Amino acid sequence: GQNIDQPTEMTATEGAIVQINCTYQTSGFNGLFWYQQHAGEAPTFLSYNVLDGLEEKGRFSSFLSRSKGYSYLLLKELQMKDSASYLCAVKYNTNAGKSTFGDGTTLTVKP
Amino acid sequence: GAGVSQSPSNKVTEKGKDVELRCDPISGHTALYWYRQSLGQGLEFLIYFQGNSAPDKSGLPSDRFSAERTGGSVSTLTIQRTQQEDSAVYLCASSRQGGVSDEQYFGPGTRLTVT
């Protein structure tokens, strides 16, 4: 299979930094996405990584190591509105159009 | 511009009945996806349409599930003889061309409850 593994839940404090990890099977890897999903809402796109390294977008950054099959989403200066589920999704070259999603990490930001 | 829309937003049906869920993708997007999400769970892939190619039906859980996409635009997901385990949120997404770097744009979902 092409298991995507993420922690189920994380808790962090407002203003802090949190790192959400995602590991995946490396064979046939063709790109990785992070999506944010607030409770009761649809997922929305956050970031895309295909090359090794860090992609920064404001308070959010995403890192990829292709050789290790590892990515993380880094959220800085946490705000209460960042409480949501964060979904890691991977594309494999067996079917370039389709993404395999992890089960998501539910982040709770506390005051 | 308009995003992905889905209808109905909520559907309550009796066990054994058939239901049809509709998805209108973003205009011009050639790739369309259906997912199922149970409470507190991740996205379960159901089916993927790309242009005029044969759809990838590998995620459909049983032959009670089927989907079609007419004219390369609107899609309908049909569940026949619904069961209680079919209760979930059904999400539709589209992307520009289903390319490797194309992100997916999701609709608001249809919450299906089978009683």
Reported confidence tier of residue A1, pLDDT bands at 50, 70, 90: very low
Do residue A101 and residue B98 have CB atoms under 8 angstroms apart?
A: no
The confidence score (pLDDT) of residue B31 equals 93
CA distance B4 to B26: 5
Task: Give the model confidence (pLDDT) of B66-87 as tens digits.
Answer: 999 988 799 999 999 999 999 9
Q: Which two tokens stand for residue A68?
A: 């290790």
Chain B residues near residue A33 by CB distance under 8 angstroms: 103-104
Residue B15, CA atoms < 13 Å, CB-side half-sphere: 4
- Three-state SS annotation for A3-27: CEECCCEEEEECCCCEEEEEEECCC
Closest Cβ opposite residue A42 in set B95, B103, B108:
B108
Q: Which two tokens stand for residue B98?
A: 């289903």
The confidence score (pLDDT) of residue A94 equals 76
Q: Nearest-CA neighbor of A41 among B44, B107, B34?
A: B107
CA distance B106 to B103: 10
**CA distances (Å), B20 to each of A103, B13, B29, B73, B81, in order?**
26, 11, 22, 16, 11
For the residues B53-73, what does the mean pLDDT come to?
A: 92
Do residue A98 and residue B45 have CB atoms under 8 angstroms apart?
A: yes
CA distance B45 to B37: 9
Contacts of B53 (CB under 8 A, 6+ apart): none
Is-contact B10 B110, C-beta < 8 A?
yes
Q: By three-state DSSP, how is residue B71 classified? A: helix
Is-contact B17 B113, C-beta < 8 A?
no
* Residue percentage of chain A with pLDDT more than 70: 97
- Beta strands A53-57 and A105-110: pairing type? unpaired
Q: Is the pLDDT of residue B1 over 80?
A: no
Substitution target in A9, A51, A98 with the highest count of B β-carbons within 10 Å is: A98
Q: Is A31 in CB contact (< 8 Å) with chain B? A: yes
For the residues B77-105, what does the mean pLDDT come to?
A: 94
Chain A residues near residue B99 by CB distance under 8 angstroms: 96-97
Do residue A50 and residue B107 have CB atoms under 8 angstroms apart?
A: no
Interface of B with A (CB under 8 A): 31, 33, 35, 40-43, 45, 48, 50, 56, 91, 95, 98-109
Chain B residues near residue A38 by CB distance under 8 angstroms: none
Bridge partners of A92, per DSSP, are: A29
